[in-house]
């Protein structure tokens, strides 16, 4: 395929995940337009590699074949769509919008209908894994899309994802991501709690890390969580407590709509909501262990130093 035959891709939201994803699309030969937020660094990095900077989402919708969005929550996505210079203002027949945000499926379905009315197609493609895999182009992607649209967008998604699953029609990707994050944030709350319980009962965090990590209960999330808590790799999982809390709220709404009892989800959410309420919204998820420790009169840094 000639370079000029490759789909022109727009990318809105160049945060921890977005920069690496956009870089990988660009390096695979796609002409690219980008739109950042306040932080100029990722924008200038991508422009330096050959991307052009869009003045508005509307301009991007008018000029690109496929537009990616990678933001923090549904209100942000809605403003990018519905603003005066938003995507819907510039949307045209055949435009595909790929939303990688962990979003509220109810909002997703409404936006998909509004885009369809303009002749465009919505694809929800939320992400799994971390900024490291975003830079490497090996993220997990769970896709909600019509089959024909999925086939058209797959070559671009393959630029940034290594594990791709189409889980159903539009909205199914965002629902799947909420299931995934209910598990991961449930793990975070559970790991924080048992690590503190161990510390107070005389089992140092280092021993919890060793015993559980080498057993069949070990997993990638446990490994990352404990590398932060025990080994002091504070930046190993750059995902905020605010975002975790938001995801559990969306999952709770999904449960309410489906009339499903979710005791575990509710319990996990309370830890995150509490951490947020006392001013720790921008802490990273594994730092929840420090928060749970403090509530129990323990300093996690001191406990983690034991047995090193």
Backbone angles phi, psi at 113, to 5 degrees: -65, -40
pLDDT score of 4:
54
156 and 209 fall within a common domain: no
Residues 6+ apart with CB under 8 A from 133: 20, 139, 140, 162
As beta bridge partners, residue 68 has 11, 98
| Distance between CA atoms of residues 208 and 210, nearest Å | 6
Final residue of a structural domain among 152, 170, 188: 170
pLDDT score of 1:
37
Percentage, residues of the chain above pLDDT 70 = 99
Final residue of a structural domain among 147, 170, 193: 170
Annotated active-site residue 177? The verdict is yes
pLDDT score of 171:
98
Which stretches of the chain score pLDDT less than 70?
A: 1-4
The residue annotated as part of the active site, out of 23, 177, 206, 246, is 177
161 and 205 fall within a common domain: no
How many domains does one find in the chain?
A: 2
pLDDT score of 2:
40
53 and 22 fall within a common domain: yes
Q: Any idea what the CATH number is for the domain that residue 284 is in?
A: 1.10.1040.10
Six token digits for residue 202: 């005389």
pLDDT score of 100:
98
Instruction: Show the domain range for 225.
Output: 175-305
| CA nearest neighbour of 106 among 252, 215, 218 | 252
H, E, C per residue of the chain: CCHHHCCCEEEECCCCCHHHHHHHHHHCCCCEEEECCCCHHHHHHHHHCCCEECCCHHHHHHHCCEEEECCCCHHHHHHHHHCCCCHHHHCCCCCEEEECCCCCHHHHHHHHHHHHCCCCEEEECCEECCHHHHHHCCEEEEEECCHHHHHHHHHHHHHHEEEEEEEECCCHHHHHHHHHHHHHHHHHHHHHHHHHHHHHHCCCHHHHHHHHHCCCCCCHHHHHHHHHHCCCCCCCCCCEHHHHHHHHHHHHHHHHHHCCCCHHHHHHHHHHHHHHHCCCCCCEHHHHHHHHHHHCCCCHHHHHHCCC
pLDDT tens, position by position, 119-169: 999 999 999 998 899 999 999 999 999 999 999 999 999 999 999 999 999
pLDDT score of 287:
98
pLDDT score of 288:
98
188 and 102 fall within a common domain: no
Final residue of a structural domain among 150, 170, 190: 170
pLDDT tens, position by position, 256-282: 999 999 999 999 999 999 999 999 999
48 and 154 fall within a common domain: yes
pTM, two decimals, is 0.93
pLDDT score of 37:
83
pLDDT score of 38:
84
187 and 260 fall within a common domain: yes
pLDDT score of 3:
45
pLDDT score of 140:
97
Angle, vertex CA 172, rays to CA 166 and CA 174, nearest 5? 105
163 and 260 fall within a common domain: no
């Amino acid at each position: 395929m000639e370079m000029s035959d490759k789909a022109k891709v727009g990318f809105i939201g160049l945060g921890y995940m977005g920069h690496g994803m956009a870089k990988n699309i660009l390096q695979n030969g796609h002409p690219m337009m980008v739109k950042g937020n306040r932080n100029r660094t990722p924008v200038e990095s991508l422009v330096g590699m050959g991307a052009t900077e869009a003045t508005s989402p509307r301009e991007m919708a008018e000029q690109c074949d496929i537009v990616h969005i990678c933001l923090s929550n549904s209100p942000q996505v809605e403003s990018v769509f519905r603003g005066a210079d938003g995507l819907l203002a510039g949307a045209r027949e055949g435009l595909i919008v790929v939303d990688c945000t962990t979003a509220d499926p109810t909002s997703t379905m409404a936006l998909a209908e509004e885009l369809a009315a303009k002749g465009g197609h919505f694809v929800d493609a939320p992400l799994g894994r971390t900024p490291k895999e975003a830079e490497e182009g090996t993220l997990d992607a769970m896709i909600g899309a019509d089959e024909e649209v999925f086939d058209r967008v797959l070559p671009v998604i393959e630029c940034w994802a290594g594990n791709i699953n189409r889980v159903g029609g539009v909205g199914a990707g965002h629902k799947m991501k909420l299931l995934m994050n209910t598990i991961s944030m449930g793990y975070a709350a559970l790991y924080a709690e048992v690590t503190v319980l161990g510390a107070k009962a005389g089992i140092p965090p280092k021993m919890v890390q060793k015993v559980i990590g080498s057993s069949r209960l070990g997993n990638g999330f446990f490994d990352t969580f404990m590398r932060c808590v025990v080994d002091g790799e504070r930046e190993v999982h750059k995902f905020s407590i605010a975002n975790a809390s938001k995801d559990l709220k969306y999952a709770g709404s999904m449960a309410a709509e489906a009339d499903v009892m979710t005791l575990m989800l509710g319990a996990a959410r309370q830890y995150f909501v509490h951490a947020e309420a006392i001013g720790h919204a921008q802490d990273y998820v594994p730092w929840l262990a420090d928060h749970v420790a403090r509530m129990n009169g323990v300093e996690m840094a001191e406990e983690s130093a034991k047995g090193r």
